[in-house]
Amino acid sequence: MPHPMFEKHQALLQQAVAAIESRGYWSPYAENPRVYGDTAIEDGRKAFDAYRGAQFYLDQPGVVDRGGAEVSPYGLSLDISYPQCRVDALVAAAKTAMPGWVKAGADARAGVCLEILARLNARSFEMAHAVMHTTGQPLMMAFQAAGPHAQDRGLEAVAYAWREMKQVPQTALWEKPQGKNPPLKMEKKFSIVPRGVALVIACSTFPTWNGYPGIFASLVTGNPVIVKAHPTVILPLAISVAVARQVLKEAGFDPNLVSLLIDDPAAPVAKDVAMRPEVRLIDYTGGPDFGNWLEQNCRHAMVYTEKAGVNCIVVDSIDDYQGMLKNLAFTLSLYSGQMCTTPQSMFVSREGVNTPEGVVSAEQFGHDLANAVSKFLADPARAVEVLGAIQSPATLARLAAAHELGEVLRTSSAIPHPHWPAARVHSPLILKVDVADERAYMEERFGPISLVVETATTAQSLAMAERVIREQGAITFALYSTNPLMVEHAEDAALRAGVALSINLTGAVFVNQSAGFSDFHATGANPAANACLTDSAFVASRFFVVQSRRHV
Amino acid sequence: MPHPMFEKHQALLQQAVAAIESRGYWSPYAENPRVYGDTAIEDGRKAFDAYRGAQFYLDQPGVVDRGGAEVSPYGLSLDISYPQCRVDALVAAAKTAMPGWVKAGADARAGVCLEILARLNARSFEMAHAVMHTTGQPLMMAFQAAGPHAQDRGLEAVAYAWREMKQVPQTALWEKPQGKNPPLKMEKKFSIVPRGVALVIACSTFPTWNGYPGIFASLVTGNPVIVKAHPTVILPLAISVAVARQVLKEAGFDPNLVSLLIDDPAAPVAKDVAMRPEVRLIDYTGGPDFGNWLEQNCRHAMVYTEKAGVNCIVVDSIDDYQGMLKNLAFTLSLYSGQMCTTPQSMFVSREGVNTPEGVVSAEQFGHDLANAVSKFLADPARAVEVLGAIQSPATLARLAAAHELGEVLRTSSAIPHPHWPAARVHSPLILKVDVADERAYMEERFGPISLVVETATTAQSLAMAERVIREQGAITFALYSTNPLMVEHAEDAALRAGVALSINLTGAVFVNQSAGFSDFHATGANPAANACLTDSAFVASRFFVVQSRRHV
């Protein structure tokens, strides 16, 4: 008998599988706030407020203390404490929880995962406030990115993994002809066996969007998941874990299949838990240093990393110059450049930018871009709803120091937030450097820091962008060119560098946006990430196939 | 326009995809020698003889010398020399060859791979003699295992990889509704990008059966392949590489997409080439020491290993005692136990084996098994066609030393070969040890060495087998039991240990046989191998997906 949660969500799962096969537009979780009801924003705020100054309830084993010291980038003190659990207790509980989950099979596990996602969807505005006041994202972005878009990514991972598991038949009849003699006949059973305990190490900017693919890909393939939250961004994952545990319990499974692990920045535990031999899967989003360490040291586990990179733009020519500037102004402003997809190094040649109105010099382009950003952010009330707040004080320090890197085309300035006087809101810094000044633009400078890099020719722009991406990694690459040959060159460069290319974005699609079920986020082919969200490679190694055969 | 080789083989490829989806019996390459014509064996011998005392022709770059000093385990000196090429020349040529191969797309690449397999199939008896006189396999086994069965495994890998690539759409139209406004529309292109240069490090016993999956999985996904042959078993891979290069040339591709790398045992190159940063995929079959070294050190590459293990049998009860003995006698004799699937440690309890004729004591079982093997091998002319020859003198030395490990139930003796007086033919050694003597049975003893391990109960037999498999790895596990509860326990143990289970084999299927398109060979879940031949995980990480998007 199919599990009731599978029956409930089967149709949606089939649609999701169809979506990953066509990769057109599809989004099962509404991104329009109105769909969630007139009081959704306010209800979400109340739910969020209820966590403040309280003990977050999670009935996990091995509690030794309570921890958590989150402070909103908007200045609000959250004062929430979470259970701090012993790693060995979480690992032991995870292992104990496995057998029943494994035996339940792919359908039941997928049904439970989809029910978790449905419950998370219903709480998208509670999540929005939690994400806003931990990551600094503006509210509407936090709602979309951490709510429906993250849920899309979670479902996408479930769809890939479920399809992959279902492609293995559960049984087979093997019947080999023996000439005149009766055939040899065997009955074979094929079982999906999970790899082991999974660890998801989440980041401080997109805890759910980047965390859900690994969580759901591991969980649906039978692996218990320990979710290690960033010390400054715990609440969004605590809510996610609590929802998952509740659904697991209701579905008749051990809630310790999903647990939350927190630590103190002064006593980090991520390395210790990653090196546990029971941990066989690690999904990581964050800085390259720790990502590279995991890749180098965790030989006992499959390691999926999304680290950092230097996203590039090459500007050659455009038939809608103002459209391009507006598009770039939004792109550079969105969440103050704190996205792994925000462009940093923009290559433009001294030969200028060809437009229908004539050639725009590289210098003029820099000023026009700076002005476009300033104009876009002229109204502070509107500006803060795009910029959000700076998540980490380290980013502020980096931003301040970056002013020295080149000629300042647009200085970064603090913007007062109408509702949150202590919010860390700062507008984008735009610099101009020469292509010879590699030190300035060839390393990632996370935050609202962009550089216009002046080259000799567009050919050089393309060559340098390719080199930056191959050496430093990138998740996005954008080209503006009306020259079909140049587009072809850029496509070839993107294939060689293994980076997603966006061409001539002048409207309401932005290079830093990646749509679930359609855009592959990262490729695994350059240093920015060793995996893609989500493709078959992201899911196929999370389980094994074990067979049993006998004569019939 | 589809590539002509794809058109030619498309129907077969579709059948192969259907076969991996049902995993019933299917074998496109005939294992019946008669299908290959009355003169096939003799024609194959002539083709093989033509290589002897000659220079093997391969027009590879960077030739610095000629090498190769293969001596047949049957005593025949091959005296064949092969071009010895500089690693950097092969790597550079491989990289140069890539772009055209990548652009050709999945269909053309699959067509070329299937044409290579078709040509190899036509030369199966040439391969049979080449494999016989390098690995020591008996001729008919060499024909089947290195011919049609290896080709099955190659095609299986192509089918998995092709299906995985084809599941990524080449293009998509993304059309996002915008309320009353016209929808946002983008056209997206998705390209399959290979990981990089692939290295296949082959073994000395099954160079094609174990080598083809990696070679074809990497090649069809766009990666050029360097095939590193074992110094004592070069010819089978030299023929395979020559066929591949010829087909690539005819199809309009650079033959350096597949090249042969040889070395001298005194100056091994495998580590050097494996550590080249351009090498991004490594498939290895061989001893655990080097396999573990590759896993630990080659962080820049995906590493797929099949190493070694201690395959186990638990004997509890059986309704056809004589059938079981006959089956085991063949299993232990086939190719003198030089298979990664041959059982080594056979657990039987002091409570004895339940049979319809009564309880057989553990001691009696040991003697019965020894007698069954002796009876099966009584006719030397027949025996040598099953035993083949011992590939390596090291195995002979191991066999001699193993006589000290326990009570000898059946001593190993040299068997004169009627046609090859210098052949290294030796019958199986069977020992008996107590379960306490872990040193004896808990490590792999490659070759015709088996141990009957006496335990207190079948429950202990199962527990010890599970422990051996979890700690030492195993590719096969067999149970003889008429007790449904015991079968269930064994199935659970096999799932936990991640090993393929065969139950009550008393007829013409043997635990050491693994049928392409039906049996998953190894699982990746225990130390014997970190990958399975072939499942989705074996192919999915060999390529990346890179996208390009623009408005329409």
DSSP for A387-413 reads H---S-HHHHHHHHHHGGGSEEEE---
List CB contacts (< 8 A) between B502 and chain A: 548-550
Domain with CATH 3.40.605.10 in chain B: 27-307
Instruction: Enter the tokens of residue B523.
Output: 């699982």
Instruction: Enter the tokens of residue A310.
Output: 């230097």
pLDDT computed for residue A516 by the predictor: 96
Q: In tens digits, what is the pLDDT along chain B, a chain of 552 residues?
A: 899 999 999 999 999 999 999 999 999 999 999 999 999 999 999 999 999 999 999 999 999 999 999 999 999 999 999 999 999 999 999 999 999 999 999 999 999 999 999 999 999 999 999 999 999 999 999 999 999 999 999 999 999 999 999 999 999 999 999 999 999 999 999 999 999 999 999 999 999 999 999 999 999 999 999 999 999 999 999 999 999 999 999 999 999 999 999 999 899 999 999 999 999 999 999 999 999 999 999 999 999 999 989 999 999 999 999 999 999 999 999 999 999 999 999 999 999 999 999 999 999 999 999 999 999 999 999 999 999 999 999 999 999 999 999 999 999 999 999 999 999 999 999 999 999 999 999 999 999 999 999 999 999 999 999 999 999 999 999 999 999 999 999 999 999 999 999 999 999 999 999 999 999 999 999 999 999 999 999 999 999 999 999 999
Whole-angstrom Cα distance, residue B223 to residue B165?
13
Residue from B120, B117, B126, B121 nearest B41 by CA: B126
Q: Mutate which of A17, A21, A22, A23 to disrupt the B interface (most B C-beta within 10 Å)?
A: A23
Q: Is A198 exposed, middle or buried (0-12, 13-18, 19+ CB in 10 A)?
A: buried
User: Cα dist. B491→A160, B459, B479 in Å?
Assistant: 28, 13, 9
pLDDT digits (tens, 9 = 90+) for A468-502: 999 999 999 999 999 999 999 999 999 999 999 99
Query: Strands A171-178, A500-503: parallel, antiparallel or unpaired by DSSP?
Result: unpaired
Are residues B497 and A501 in contact, defined by beta-carbon separation less than 8 angstroms?
Answer: no
Query: Strands A543-551, A181-194: parallel, antiparallel or unpaired by DSSP?
Result: antiparallel
In angstroms, what separates the C-alpha of B223 from chain A's closest C-alpha?
13
The dihedral of CA A504, A509, A511, A517: what is its sign?
Answer: negative
In angstroms, what separates the C-alpha of B531 from chain A's closest C-alpha?
9
Q: Cβ of A541 and B540 within 8 Å?
A: yes
**A197, β-bridge pairs:** A279
pTM above 0.80, yes or no: yes
List CB contacts (< 8 A) between B524 and chain A: 544
User: Cα dist. B243→B46, B57, B65, B283 in Å?
Assistant: 17, 11, 22, 20
Are residues B546 and A498 in contact, defined by beta-carbon separation less than 8 angstroms?
Answer: yes
User: Cα dist. B278→A475, B105, B537 in Å?
Assistant: 21, 22, 22
Cβ of residue A491 closer than 8 Å to a chain B Cβ: yes
Residues 6+ apart with CB under 8 A from B186: A509, B173, B174, B175, B549, B550, B551, B552
Question: Which regions of chain A are under pLDDT 50?
Answer: none
In angstroms, what separates the C-alpha of A234 from chain B's closest C-alpha?
32
List CB contacts (< 8 A) between A505 and chain B: 551
List CB contacts (< 8 A) between A537 and chain B: 540-541, 544
Are residues B543 and B195 in contact, defined by beta-carbon separation less than 8 angstroms?
Answer: yes
Instruction: Enter the tokens of residue A8.
Output: 């409930």
Task: Name residue, tokens 């009353």.
Answer: B180
How many CB atoms within 10 Å of residue A362? 19
Residues 22-51 of A with CB under 8 A from B: 22-25
Whole-angstrom Cα distance, residue A193 to residue A212?
21
Q: Where are the extended beta strands (E) located within A149-221?
A: 171-178, 181-194, 197-201
B344: left (phi over 0), alpha (psi -120 to 50) or beta: alpha
Which amino acid, residue A483? N
Kindly identify which residue of chain A lies nearest to residue B177, measuring between CA atoms.
Answer: A25
Domain with CATH 3.40.309.10 in chain A: 312-503
Residue from B434, B271, B287 nearest B366 by CA: B434
Are residues B22 and A188 in contact, defined by beta-carbon separation less than 8 angstroms?
Answer: no
In angstroms, what separates the C-alpha of B91 from chain A's closest C-alpha?
17
Whole-angstrom Cα distance, residue B282 to residue B391?
24
Instruction: Enter the tokens of residue A35.
Output: 């769909």
Tell me which residue in A21, A193, A505 faces B167 most closely, judged by beta carbons.
A21
Are residues B33 and B143 in contact, defined by beta-carbon separation less than 8 angstroms?
Answer: yes
Which amino acid, residue A197? V
**B306, β-bridge pairs:** B285, B529
Query: Strands B181-194, B171-178: parallel, antiparallel or unpaired by DSSP?
Result: antiparallel
In angstroms, what separates the C-alpha of B260 from chain A's closest C-alpha?
26
Whole-angstrom Cα distance, residue B159 to residue B16?
6
In angstroms, what separates the C-alpha of A40 from chain B's closest C-alpha?
21
Cβ of residue B188 closer than 8 Å to a chain A Cβ: yes
Are residues B300 and B279 in contact, defined by beta-carbon separation less than 8 angstroms?
Answer: yes
Are residues A538 and B537 in contact, defined by beta-carbon separation less than 8 angstroms?
Answer: no
- SS3 of A547, please? strand
Are residues A447 and A467 in contact, defined by beta-carbon separation less than 8 angstroms?
Answer: no
Q: What's the gap between Cα B191 and its chain centre?
A: 31
Instruction: Enter the tokens of residue A195.
Output: 């790899």
- Respond yes or no on whether the N-terminal peptide bond of residue A208 is cis (omega within 30° of 0): no
Asked casually if ipTM beats, i.e. exceeds, 0.95, the reply is yes
DSSP H or E segment with residue B194: strand B181-194
pLDDT computed for residue A333 by the predictor: 98
pLDDT computed for residue A1 by the predictor: 85
Cβ of residue B164 closer than 8 Å to a chain A Cβ: yes
Residues 6+ apart with CB under 8 A from A270: A201, A228, A263, A290
Q: Cβ of B501 and A548 within 8 Å?
A: yes
Are residues B29 and B121 in contact, defined by beta-carbon separation less than 8 angstroms?
Answer: yes
pLDDT computed for residue A64 by the predictor: 96
Q: Is B392 exposed, middle or buried (0-12, 13-18, 19+ CB in 10 A)?
A: buried
| Topology given in CATH for the domain delimited by B27-307 | Aldehyde Dehydrogenase; Chain A, domain 1 (3.40.605)
Whole-angstrom Cα distance, residue A433 to residue A446?
18
pLDDT computed for residue B308 by the predictor: 86
| Topology given in CATH for the domain delimited by B311-503 | Aldehyde Dehydrogenase; Chain A, domain 2 (3.40.309)
Q: Cβ of B520 and A24 within 8 Å?
A: no
Side-chain-side CA neighbours of residue B28 (13 Å): 26
Tell me which residue in B25, B167, B546 faces A536 most closely, judged by beta carbons.
B167
Are residues B533 and B522 in contact, defined by beta-carbon separation less than 8 angstroms?
Answer: yes
Q: Does the domain spanning A312-503 belong to CATH 2.115.10.20? A: no
The dihedral of CA A303, A307, A310, A312: what is its sign?
Answer: positive
Cβ of residue A518 closer than 8 Å to a chain B Cβ: yes
Q: In A235-248, which positions are buried (b, 16+ CB within 10 angstroms) versus exposed (e)?
A: bbbbbbbbbbbebb
Residue from B264, B200, B203, B260 nearest B230 by CA: B203
Q: Cβ of B504 and A295 within 8 Å?
A: no
Whole-angstrom Cα distance, residue B180 to residue B13?
47
Q: Which CATH superfamily is domain A25-307 in?
A: Aldehyde Dehydrogenase; Chain A, domain 1 (3.40.605.10)
**Residue A486: φ, ψ to 5°:** -65, -40
pLDDT computed for residue A268 by the predictor: 94
Q: Cβ of B191 and A495 within 8 Å?
A: yes
Domain with CATH 3.40.605.10 in chain A: 25-307
**B543, β-bridge pairs:** B194
Cβ of residue A173 closer than 8 Å to a chain B Cβ: yes
Tell me which residue in A518, A532, A550 faces B174 most closely, judged by beta carbons.
A518
Tell me which residue in A21, A184, A524 faces B544 most closely, judged by beta carbons.
A524
Whole-angstrom Cα distance, residue A80 to residue A83?
10
Query: Strands B449-455, B343-349: parallel, antiparallel or unpaired by DSSP?
Result: parallel
Adjacency order of strands within the sheet including A279-285: A258-261, A225-228, A197-201, A279-285, A302-306
